[in-house]
Structure 1
């Protein structure tokens, strides 16, 4: 069976463990019947990650490198990898080996059974704090309640997609993509495989709290209008409650005009500011789309040879 499997690995400052990742993946692919290409997308690393990858490329022609001109973010690194992957199926996984390669054969088996998309569902997460596990679990459940898509719980970006699914993803134009949401949105026949998410082999997490919050906001504002509806409700509630409260105080005669006024004003102002913040998140996404800037800029590619000569390094404009 001469099928090609592309493995996309976003990389950002993974110098401490990238060689172990390369060695582990090469050892894995050498034992498989399918052909493989390993596409590392360097997301503006400041360390020697790219140099280590380039050194390994000299020993194995199946390793390929896409380098961003700066850091554009994990989700756009995945998006770029999808643009360059040519496999019959594409696997997306982290470069820190928290997503074990041993799960890939099970994904491939599901693909051969007729599934277009096979996502990894985490049954256990090692090396993460209780706070991170709790917030991640809470996000997936809240997102499922308020979004317009039925995204599976406890899944990340570790998944296999066949060629037609990848081709559809490449047609999506979001400036701030939420890839796992996009994969759910395109539909097709999907299933899961259970796996145990491992602890990082080296280095530090590239998803601190601030980036987790940013990813959550991108996901919610991409696939849910309910925060906008909540903003409208929050704007109405203080007005109605203020009218009834003021009416009661006036009827009872036990009130301090100054204290009541200040209380209502502060309460209303707080909720209105919250509403403005929610609206601003959506308007910000609209502004990004209207600006029509490239979603990312590729400074160079290595290992793709002739087939990349026709790909402009600014190819990731919204029309792609």
Structure 2
């Protein structure tokens, strides 16, 4: 942690809200209670309105009007979760920054534990989800599979059951701000940076109000994006399968050559031939799709478009 002399250290709290007008007031009230119990620190809150179409921005503006510690960013459109969080971190000025979701599924009281671990010298203190009370059995299984696959295929870059709820020291989040990758997966980038880290388990609660934005489609898209961002396994997979099919083809060519020399080969097995052709062409197109995904990500980096665009600011 930085030596800041006798002044109180400032803690920045970031939240990204997309159509969360039913939750944002409750979040502000809960954070104020946490701040009251931490008199040794000053606090600021950066509320990022991530392209909401409801009253989220108006309610956030009213919160700022009543308490200047709450600052508001309004993005021009929805830049998805990592774009919204990135906007918040980019406008932080604290000695440490904490991200918490606007739906209050993460317990704000855990901020006290985050601060205690930060005081012990940890630069990255993250929450580890122990139980999800809002999940069905199918969703729970899918979540376990999601984290298991990402953990194994990314070489541990994605810690199991760890989302974006965390505290980062100033040096760490400032370094994160300098990473201008377009296909951003922040939890993977933070893990990649390293530093003295520790996890704190917690139970994820039901939403205070509203509906979750993390439907099956968005979760699958996120998983694929994370996999292609932090792993070369898909490319290795295509190479291994390609070599295996090539070996099988050479073996079958040898067998058919022997049969032709001694017994001849009548024109039979049309269905088998078509099946093999379809199998091989299908695999070729899978390989092209995987390579195309990597190329599209390179294309995004070359275009160098910003990860977010700010429309309005309040309190900065």
| Residue 233 (structure 1) shift | 2.2
Within 5 Å, give how 1:145-164 maps onto structure 2. Answer: 145-164=152-171
Within 5 Å, give how 1:18-37 maps onto structure 2. Answer: 18-33=24-39, 34-37=41-44
CA distance in 1, matches of 2:54, 2:43: 27
CA distance in 2, matches of 1:39, 1:279: 39
| Residue 69 (structure 1) shift | 0.4
User: Gapped runs of 5+ residues in structure 1?
Assistant: 305-320
Tell me whether 1:127 sits opposite 2:134 in the alignment. Answer: yes
Q: Indicate the residue corresponding to 1:314 in structure 2.
A: none
CA distance in 1, matches of 2:240, 2:280: 12
Q: Which protein shows a greater Rg?
A: 2
CA contact (8 A) 1:249 1:255 kept: no
CA distance in 2, matches of 1:123, 1:213: 22
Within 5 Å, give how 1:154-303 maps onto structure 2. Answer: 154-245=161-252, 247-248=254-255, 251=259, 256-303=268-315
CA distance in 1, matches of 2:267, 2:29: 75
Deviation larger for 250-259 or 290-299: 250-259
Q: Indicate the residue corresponding to 1:4 in structure 2.
A: 10
Deviation larger for 50-59 or 237-246: 237-246
| Residue 114 (structure 1) shift | 0.7
CA distance in 1, matches of 2:134, 2:148: 22
Q: Indicate the residue corresponding to 1:85 in structure 2.
A: 92
| Residue 206 (structure 1) shift | 1.2
CA contact (8 A) 2:51 2:76 kept: yes
CA distance in 2, matches of 1:23, 1:128: 26
| Residue 247 (structure 1) shift | 4.7
User: Gapped runs of 5+ residues in structure 2?
Assistant: 1-6
SS in structure 2 of the partner of residue 27 of structure 1: helix
SS in structure 2 of the partner of residue 10 of structure 1: strand
* Aligned pairs, number: 304
SS in structure 2 of the partner of residue 124 of structure 1: strand
Task: Pick closer, same or farther for the CA change 1:105–1:245 going to 2, 3 Å.
Answer: same
CA contact (8 A) 1:107 1:118 kept: yes
Task: Pick closer, same or farther for the CA change 1:2–1:241 going to 2, 3 Å.
Answer: same
CA distance in 2, matches of 1:150, 1:57: 37
SS in structure 1 of the partner of residue 66 of structure 2: coil
Q: Indicate the residue corresponding to 1:55 in structure 2.
A: 62
Q: Deviations over 1:35-54 (max 9, x none)?
A: 11111111100111111111
CA contact (8 A) 1:169 1:182 kept: yes
CA contact (8 A) 2:34 2:111 kept: no
| Residue 230 (structure 1) shift | 0.7
Match of 1:139 among 137, 140, 146: 146
TM-score w.r.t. length of structure 2:
0.91
TM-score w.r.t. length of structure 1:
0.90
CA distance in 2, matches of 1:174, 1:218: 13
RMSD: 1.7
CA distance in 1, matches of 2:266, 2:196: 65
CA distance in 2, matches of 1:177, 1:106: 28
CA distance in 2, matches of 1:84, 1:185: 22
Match of 2:112 among 105, 121, 125: 105
Deviation larger for 213-222 or 242-251: 242-251
